[in-house]
Amino acid sequence: MKTLQQAELRVETYLIPRMGRLRRLVDGLVPDPRHARGLRHRLGVVVLAMVAGLLVGGSPRDAERLSLRLGLGRRGRAVSDTTMRALLAQLDDDALHPVLVQTVKDMRCRGQLECDGLRQHWTIIDGKYSTYEHHVGGFAQKFVSEDERSVWWRLGVLRAVLASVAGVPALGQFVMGPVETTETDPDKLKHTGEITNLRAFVGWLREQYGELTTNFSLDAGLWSKEIFAWFNDKGLGIFAGLKGNKPELHAEVERVMRIDVARRSPHAETGWEPSKKGQMKRELWRSAALDGWDGWRHLRQVILVRQTTRRRDGSPDEVEMRYFVTNMPTATLTPAQALLLVRRHWAIENDCNWTFDMQMGEDAGSWCTQNKAPLALGVLRMIAYNLMQWLRKRRVRVQHERVADSPMPWRELRELIAAIWIHIGTGLLARLCPAPSG
């Protein structure tokens, strides 16, 4: 972007129509859980106020002040933080998911979900945990320290992003809820884990997105031998990290790849690239020799990525060996694509979860912790994140001295959006026509 005015215009022309679409989707798809009596703001307006606040990284009080500036409430008043918290306490994340799904499908219709560097779409799934001071309506599990001096509750969800797309959009989340039991005390409930919920989450993603979610990349702790076979039997691709929690397979892959590294040059490699510690280089070797080994059906490729970090301080290079397995044939996942997929795997941490924590304050404290409020707010964060990701990675870029067309820094983008809200002022609802005012 050559000027700040041009950047503001591009953000405004992108954001305003999508905020209007969001409001209409909420009013059309989400049942209003509030009591019908009395005067109140329309459901879509309250959600709009929360998302507008999330876009600038604010607290509930910040969102309230912003709603006053934008004239979102009845007769141009504010939507109070109390109103937002009360709505969150009644909202079900399952009711909000159709809005998220439709916004992702809208992105596809606009051509924003084209594969970027990969031949097929790849969905990354990983777990995310947050801690609270109470059981969050029974959805968080109680933990006590060994000396019994501290108590906390942990809420776990599985999240998915589409890492084959430049904007890395979030696709949804799946709560790791309590095990079915006759226990009525929420503090005593035992909860399910990541592997237990994986297949149900994959099934939900397939129902919502179809062929967009045909191939999946998983961390080492999120799969088993049985799950590997299940993905293949369902006609789905799986690309999974391999560590010592599968000792026999890990040892055999390590042995086979050690021989390959000694015998041949890498099948794919990157040049030296900037990293936090200095420079980094990745080299990839692959082998098809272990298909069927020890009952591992459809183990069509095993992969080694040697990651070398050259430090700025001149200390010795740091070398890390990382192993992966996949059921994808060599013809459909080339070495270069496999190496790119390895790099994209961490998008769910580096883009999605990091953004939630550092830019939207997820770990700093929830807007509301009653019932399923943290889960509902998680879906709203995904909606806001998807809007911002496409803006910073595709719509508005900056020229970096090392990397041309790099994503705009989060702080700069939030400041741009805040400036646009100030510029629009109380005229926002009029800009979101044809939706009626709140």
Residues near 124 by Cβ (< 8 Å), separated by ≥ 6? 160, 161, 163, 216, 217, 218, 344, 345, 347, 348
Q: Report yes or no: 273 and 279 within 8 Å, Cβ to Cβ.
A: yes
Tokens of residue 279, six digits: 């420079």
pLDDT at 395 exceeding the cut of 90: no
pLDDT over 70 for what percent of the chain?
95
Residue 24: Cβ-neighbour burial (10 angstroms; 0-12, 13-18, 19+): middle
pLDDT at 220 exceeding the cut of 60: yes
Q: Residue 242: what pLDDT?
A: 97
User: What DSSP letter does each residue of 246-291 carry, written as one string?
Assistant: SHHHHHHHHHHHHHHHHHS--SEE---EE-SSEEEEEEEEEE-TTT
Q: Residue 401: what pLDDT?
A: 45
Name the 3-class secondary structure at 36.
coil
pLDDT at 236 exceeding the cut of 90: yes
Higher pLDDT, 16 or 438: 16
Q: What is the C-alpha separation between 198 and 208, in angstroms, rounded?
A: 15
Phi, psi (5° rounding) for residue 87? -65, -45
pLDDT over 90 for what percent of the chain?
65
pLDDT at 270 exceeding the cut of 60: yes
Report pLDDT digits (tens) over 320-351: 999 999 999 988 889 999 999 998 888 777 78
Dihedral sign, Cα of residue 17, residue 18, residue 23, residue 29: positive
Query: Which amino acid, 127?
Result: G
Nearest to 179 by CA among 202, 161, 196, 198: 196
Higher pLDDT, 437 or 422: 422
Higher pLDDT, 431 or 100: 100
pLDDT at 213 exceeding the cut of 90: yes
Phi, psi (5° rounding) for residue 338? -60, -40
Query: Which amino acid, 278?
Result: G
Q: Residue 405: what pLDDT?
A: 59
Query: Which amino acid, 106?
Result: D
pLDDT at 437 exceeding the cut of 80: no
Report pLDDT digits (tens) over 274-315: 888 899 999 999 999 999 999 998 999 999 999 999 998 888
Q: What is the C-alpha separation between 222 and 242, in angstroms, rounded?
A: 10
Q: Report yes or no: 62 and 53 within 8 Å, Cβ to Cβ.
A: yes
Q: What is the C-alpha separation between 270 and 268, in angstroms, rounded?
A: 7
Average pLDDT, rounded, for the chain: 90
Q: Report yes or no: 96 and 379 within 8 Å, Cβ to Cβ.
A: yes
What is the per-residue burial (b if ≥16 Cβ within 10 Å, else e) of 40-72? bbbbbbbbbbbbbbbbbbbebebbbebbbbbbb
Report pLDDT digits (tens) over 127-136: 999 999 889 8
